[in-house]
Amino acid sequence: MSDVGDCYGNDGRYSQCMSATFGWAVGGEPYDYPADVGFAIGTPDDPQYVRIEIHYSNFENKQGIKDSSGIRISYTPELRPHDCGTLMVGVFTFPIHFIPPGSEEFRSYGLCDTRMMEDGDQIVVECTSNTMDREGVTFGGPSTLNEMCAGFLFYYPIVPIAACWSFMDIQYITEALGLERGETIMDAVMNIDSVEWDDESRAAAQKAVMDTNHLIIVENREGKRLNKTTPLPPISLPPPYHCEDDSLE
């Protein structure tokens, strides 16, 4: 397709774009697959079309700005021994993800329990945010003013999973902050926005984030979901690991 439109609109064709193929953000560097790994194109299981999603910010409404960003893809008929996949992990991008204002180091967690995919591992994504310069709550979302906590894992051999992420029980967190339980999730989000934040309430929110259950969402390329509710595993810093330099051998 060559249409231009909102990535998160009502067009049903875009709702099936679940599997990330490439990605870049400010500060990113070039990435090359290993010599024996490639991204498959043309088989019945491969994407039939590709959407490029670009996030623009121009808060001052400056005119005449031109953008030359894009992605160059090299195609070869020489098949590689292994097909690669990209697994999106972290926190489900939605306002249930929140960061209180005035936080020096507020930690958010996204959980992927891959035992749901028959191999018995757990992946925890931890994001540390600083909102010392903000007066209001920062919510999860696609805007530059929002925040995301997501990682994209390139791996092989590929499995038919596009995303494995989670969101926390926001109702539990509002109750931990002494707020009334909202009738809906969005009521709870609005309650979070009404908190008078200080060191005590920020600490209570951080503890609740660590203690609450997470709803894990595992999605395939067509957007079909498998859900499971589970708490975070115990969080601790990994021991230091010494990387051996093969070039010295």
Find out whether 219 and 161 touch, Cβ atoms under 8 Å: yes
Q: What is the pLDDT of residue 215?
A: 92
DSSP state for residue 81 in the 8-state scheme: S
Count CB-CB contacts under 10 A for residue 38.
Answer: 19
Q: What is the pTM of this model?
A: 0.81
Q: Which amino acid is at 145?
A: L
Domain coordinates in residue numbering, the chain: 14-57+67-233
Query: What share of residues in the chain are helix, strand, coil (percent, to 5)?
Result: 15, 25, 60
Q: What is the pLDDT of residue 248?
A: 45
Q: What is the pLDDT of residue 117?
A: 63
List the helix and strand counts (H, then E) for the chain.
3, 11
Q: What is the pLDDT of residue 11?
A: 67
Q: What is the pLDDT of residue 4?
A: 66
- Kindly provide the b/e burial profile for residues 158-174, where b requires at least 16 CB atoms within 10 angstroms of the residue's own CB: beebbbbbbbbbbbbbb
pLDDT by position in tens, the chain (length 249)? 456 666 665 666 666 667 788 777 777 777 788 889 998 888 887 877 777 877 777 888 899 988 777 777 788 888 899 999 889 999 998 899 999 999 999 999 999 977 666 667 788 999 999 999 999 999 998 888 889 999 888 888 888 888 899 999 999 999 999 998 888 888 999 999 999 999 999 999 999 999 999 999 988 876 678 888 888 888 776 666 666 655 444
Q: What is the pLDDT of residue 7?
A: 61
DSSP state for residue 91 in the 8-state scheme: E
